[in-house]
Amino acid sequence: MTTFPTTVRQLPCVNILTDRIVEKFLIRLNILDNCVTDLYIVSPVLGTLADTGLPLEQLRRILRVRKIKTYLVTQSPNTELTKKAPGHTLALNILKDLDLIEIRFNDNLHAKVYLCQCKKSEDSFALLGSANLTWTSIVKNIEIGVLIKCFSSGEPIIHELNSWFQSRLRTNSSIYKSMVAPKN
Amino acid sequence: MDFKEWFCLKERESFIIDPQINELDGKYYFGQANIKQKIERQLRHSFVSTVPKLQLFGQYGSGKTQMLYHIRHILLNNPPSTLKLKPHISMLTIEMKSKSNHQDLHLQLMEGLGKGAVSEWVGSIAKKGLNLEEELRKIFSDDNVVQALVKLIVGGIDFVAWRWLAGQDLSNKELEQLRVTRNLGQIGAAAMVDELVGIGRLAEMLGEKIIFLIDESERFLNVNTPDAQNSLEDYFRELSENKNNSIGFIVAGTARGVEEAARFLVSEAVLTRMGRQNIILIPPIPTLDDVKSFVTQMLSEIIDKNQAELAIKENSLAITLETYPFNTDSFDLLCEYASQEPTKALPRNIISAVNECAITAWDEKKRNIDSTIVTEIAPLVFE
């Protein structure tokens, strides 16, 4: 087991994850039944997450049924990186039919951030690390991430991440699919 | 050209107003002039004989946090004439769990004040060449508090002293070291409040007035054990007493009325001491005209008028400076959407709708926000 300095491990609002980290984030999201309002995914490459704890098809159902507003920023399907990832276009196709999703492309994107906003702000959480939203990053790669919970000193971090996403990343990424009001 | 330039924004990256990210945003409080005036009046009156003891309630997105930052801005930059001392403001977002009690609240208030500030106040008395213990005894009736404060400026034991003052339980050995007879919270909330009020008096002697601005008071609802709830009620009741005229506190939390707040925050005992006029409800923005006034004020503050005038001229935009980057129709449409459902006419929603409309216009490379964009975005925010 990897050990980290006591100071980091003892911070109640922070967990360092080293194993199946994106999967853990998604499962946490799934557990928070009806609490989640907004989901931000920043991942240069996407995959269908087949054979993981929460395949993308299942995630899409959760997002649709719970009416979670989802904001995705990723690379376009024709970059050097995404051309090598066959799941990228498949994943975009799975997600783009959702009404409440906004998809943006930014080919300079390297950051990986996942943020889940909840009705009660203290339930919100974010994952900041090296992992893409892909099967490889969950099952094969050595990845590391910090799960930040929205209380104590975690609260301003999540707030800052939210602001970075809203004010910087979105306006610097080109729109691929806009959010539309769901048809009743 | 980036988003900021595209829409002639003044000192900001987006239309979002968020004092938690940009402290200067605390100067804004758009619309709701009656609420603003009421709070300013209560602040002014409160400093005449005591300190502000206010509770603000409103639904999610009604602007409570913005109001707390705005109060901070007022107190620091344009304080009421009745406030004669320098405000020492401590802002904190409260954390409460199911078993949190008066000790957890006291700890957070003390940590909000900070060891550094309290040590400095104690140190300033010592530096005056006065007998520190004697001076402290004039303020604090509990000799244990005096002992702990004295040790707060003694290297090696200062952290133990601070932990005691913050209400944490110490071992017998540590208590002996400090020369105190018991832990602070052991006999209830009153001793803790007495200590805090005494620290307030100490600050006053040095020209400062302590005011806590406490956000997210709905988290007190997490406390579900009767003993813990009772101890928190004791703490608030003591803090609300007239005898406390040195520690101001303004608490804000999500609730549509007092009936939705934690019962110990609004118990009869607390309310009668605080005064019911100090419980202020921030309602949604009531009418179409109020929404219009909110958006107009917002745009007027965050748009660089000179740049906007130039952009209107250069791009031959059929819009007025007052509603830029909206045209008259899209401005009216947005305000109508916002005021259709009274409970949704909230500052957070309105600001978010303006920002989302602008991002859509930016995506479509439009220099202005037209009605098509508003029709697309407004239902996502207001329906």
- B270: phi > 0 → left, psi -120 to 50 → alpha, else beta; which? alpha
For testing contact with chain A, the best of B5, B12, B14 (most A CBs within 10 A): B14
What confidence score (pLDDT) does residue A2 get? 46
ipTM of the complex: 0.85
- Give how far B251 is from chain A: nearest CA, Å: 17
Q: What is the CA radius of gyration of chain A?
A: 16
Confidence class of residue A1 from pLDDT cuts 50, 70 and 90? Answer: very low
CB contact under 8 A, B13 and A168: yes
Give residue ranges of B with CB < 8 Å to any A CB. Answer: 2-3, 12-14, 16, 18, 20-21, 60, 93, 95, 216, 219, 355, 359-360, 362-363, 376, 379-380, 383
Lateral strand order in the sheet of B208-215: B86-93, B208-215, B247-254, B53-58, B279-282
CB B50 within 8 A of CB B241: no
A 10 A CB-CB count for A25 gives: 25
Q: What is the pLDDT of residues B194-225, one digit of tens each?
A: 999 999 999 999 999 999 999 999 999 999 99
Q: Is the dihedral of CA A162, A168, A174, A180 positive or negative?
A: positive
What confidence score (pLDDT) does residue A11 get? 61
What confidence score (pLDDT) does residue B342 get? 84
CB contact under 8 A, B359 and A170: yes
Which of A129, A133, A154, A141 is closest to A17 using CA atoms? A129
Residues B91 and B86: their CA atoms lie apart, in Å, by 16
Residues linked to residue B69 through DSSP beta bridges, in sequence order: none
Confidence class of residue A184 from pLDDT cuts 50, 70 and 90? Answer: low
Q: Taking 60 as the threshold, does the pLDDT of residue B18 lie above it?
A: yes
CB contact under 8 A, B21 and A178: no
The DSSP code for A167 is I
Q: Taking 50 as the threshold, does the pLDDT of residue B349 lie above it?
A: yes
SS3 track for B132-172: HHHHHHHHCCCHHHHHHHHHCCCCCCHHHHHHHHCCCCCCH
Residue matched to tokens 């943006």 = A104
What token pair was written down for B349?
Answer: 């929603």
The DSSP code for A165 is I
**Of the listed ranges A179-183, B86-90, B189-193, B306-310, the one predicted with least confidence:** A179-183
Q: Taking 90 as the threshold, does the pLDDT of residue B188 lie above it?
A: no
Average pLDDT, chain A: 91
A residues 91..110 contacting B (CB < 8 A): 100
Residues B158 and A124: their CA atoms lie apart, in Å, by 36
Q: What is the pLDDT of residues A87-98, one digit of tens each?
A: 999 999 999 999
B124, containing H or E segment: helix B115-127
Residues of chain B with C-beta less than 8 angstroms from the C-beta of A122: 95, 216, 219
B226, containing H or E segment: helix B226-240
Give the CB-side neighbour count of residue A18, counting CA atoms within 13 A.
4
Identify the structural domains of chain B with CATH numbers, from first to last: 51-281 (3.40.50), 286-382 (1.10.8)
What token pair was written down for A151?
Answer: 């209380």
Q: What is the pLDDT of residues A100-143, one digit of tens each?
A: 999 999 999 999 999 999 988 889 999 999 999 999 999 999 99
Confidence class of residue B107 from pLDDT cuts 50, 70 and 90? Answer: very high
CB contact under 8 A, B13 and A174: no
- Give how far A181 is from chain B: nearest CA, Å: 5
Amino acid identity, position A111: A
Of B20, B21, B379, the CB nearest to A181: B379
CB B294 within 8 A of CB B285: yes
Contacts of B30 (CB under 8 A, 6+ apart): B17, B293, B294, B297, B298, B301, B347
Confidence class of residue B383 from pLDDT cuts 50, 70 and 90? Answer: confident
